[in-house]
Chains A and B, each alone.
Chain A
């Protein structure tokens, strides 16, 4: 079955450490996205990529970094510069094309203490 796989489901880190969240898709989608979700909040866009080797900052990119070396993969690194990293992180993908719906993975809950 095609889909988006995020791993791990739960991640715990100490403050000051960088951590990388994995996102893999086998939907053959060109575009991939990372969102952050906090309780009672909508989804806020961190980074997105429309083609391999290219990505753009979203609304809250500070303290995060991404890479897009393969079409299937779009890992997100939460760096020590991110002031409030504890959150639920969602990866999504879509077909190329302006109004294609996003398909989401099942998320990674990151807790930093």
Chain B
């Protein structure tokens, strides 16, 4: 079945630093989604990407759909304490089911 590798597993950064995380797939995806999950809450959709090469921003967040359709990255610029949480990528290929990465846990030190 389709699998996603999300890296890094965890990140410890200082407030104000930029962050980058990525996901790679063993197969082609038609959709990439990025979610953020706060402790004890459900994931919230940050950015949705539907086209190879697409670059989309949402405030300080920027995500790109890789040209090969097998990868995507998420950048966070000028991190702040409320950026703390777990970030998940998710991809959707030929089947209709979403495949999720295992998440990147972000810690921001003030």
- A residues contacting B by CB (< 8 A) are 4, 6, 40-43, 45, 48, 58, 90, 92, 98-99, 101-107, 109
Contacts and interface: CB of A to CB of B under 8 A. Distances in A.
Given A40-B102, A106-B42, A107-B42, A101 B33 contact: yes
A91 to B, nearest CB: 8
10 contacts: A41-B102, A45-B97, A48-B97, A58-B97, A90-B42, A90-B43, A99-B50, A99-B92, A106-B41, A107-B40
B103 interface: yes
B41 A98 contact: no
Contacts of A103: 45
Interface of B: 4, 6, 9, 30-31, 33, 35, 40-45, 48, 50, 88, 90, 92, 96-98, 100-103
B92 to A, nearest CB: 6
Contacts of A58: 97
Contacts, number: 50
- Among A42, A48, A107: residue with most chain B CB under 10 A: A42
Given A98-B92, A98-B96, A105 B101 contact: no
B101 A42 contact: yes
A109 B90 CA distance: 22
Contacts of A106: 40-42
A36 to B, nearest CB: 11
Given A98-B92, A99-B31, A43 B45 contact: no
Contact of A43 (B30, B48, B92, B100): B100
Nearest to B44: A104
B59 to A, nearest CB: 18
A88 to B, nearest CB: 8
A39 to B, nearest CB: 10
Contacts of A48: 97
Contacts of A98: 30, 92, 96
Nearest to A56: B97
